[in-house]
Amino acid sequence: MSVTDEALAKIREMISSGEFRPGDRLPKESDLAARLQVSRNSLREAIRALSLIHIVDVRQGDGTYVTSMEPELLSEAVSFVIDFHRADKILHLLGVRRVLEPAATALAAAQIGEEDLVALRALLDEMRATASVEAMVRLDAEFHGRIAERSGNPVLASLLDAISAPTTRARVWRGITQEGVLGRTHEEHERIFAALATHEPELARAWATVHVAGVEHWLRVAASTSDDGREDGGS
């Protein structure tokens, strides 16, 4: 479990135990970081993650507040980012995506038109311009969805759309916690786009495989690390 995950787990426990109740303001950053025995950077990432899933409300110039949700719902909502014992289903979905998406991307490379390439270029530019992980993942889904549509196989495109949605939260959490992942994602997108633009199906297939496998590998390692931490008595 990463230091950010540990900070998030400790804050969750404080909320779930009733120490911090809905509507309460969290201690100031320096005090809370010292209490949790984490760096201020790790604490900021944990707060950012909790804010993304609406567990806390960060009010500029005022402080960070626990939302008005019930403690039981708070615990359930945040569990997806720390309880990797539930990762098996997402890993299975990512495994299917790793098989289907490269096939769709190769089909698209053989027949994609200029209008679609212009639209994909605009999505890539928008991704590079955003600082929001949530926005990045949304644009990523739109990028791959448009490519799947250009495969010429509506059943394949529909299957990929159905598989993509349940993996969104894992992809958001990877974007928050894995250093350098956004830069690598941009690079992989550019390589996929280049293969599409030059109509090279096998190259497009290869880069799509690398791209999807990255998320799958990260989650598998994160799940394994979490299991080891629990077995050793870690939080």
Percent of the chain with pLDDT over 90: 32
pLDDT digit string, tens, across residues 7-37: 777 887 787 777 888 888 999 889 998 988 8
Fold of 84-231: Four Helix Bundle (Hemerythrin (Met), subunit A) (1.20.120)
Q: Which residue has the tokens 């719902």?
A: 73
pLDDT digit string, tens, across residues 116-153: 999 999 999 999 998 777 788 889 889 999 999 999 99
Give the HSE-up count for residue 201: Cα atoms under 13 Å, Cβ half-sphere. 10
Mean pLDDT in residue range 79-103: 73
Q: How far is CA 22 from CA 43, 74, 163, 220, in A?
A: 19, 9, 34, 34
For the record, the structure tokens of 52 come out as: 């993304």
pLDDT digit string, tens, across residues 185-222: 889 999 999 999 999 999 999 999 999 898 888 778 76
Mean pLDDT in residue range 49-63: 78
The one-letter amino acid code at 167 reads T
Mean pLDDT of the chain: 80
Can you give the pTM of this predicted structure? 0.63
CATH says 3-81 is which class?
A: mainly alpha
Residue spans per domain, the chain: 3-81, 84-231
Helices (H), 61-180: 71-78, 87-111, 114-129, 133-149, 154-164, 168-177
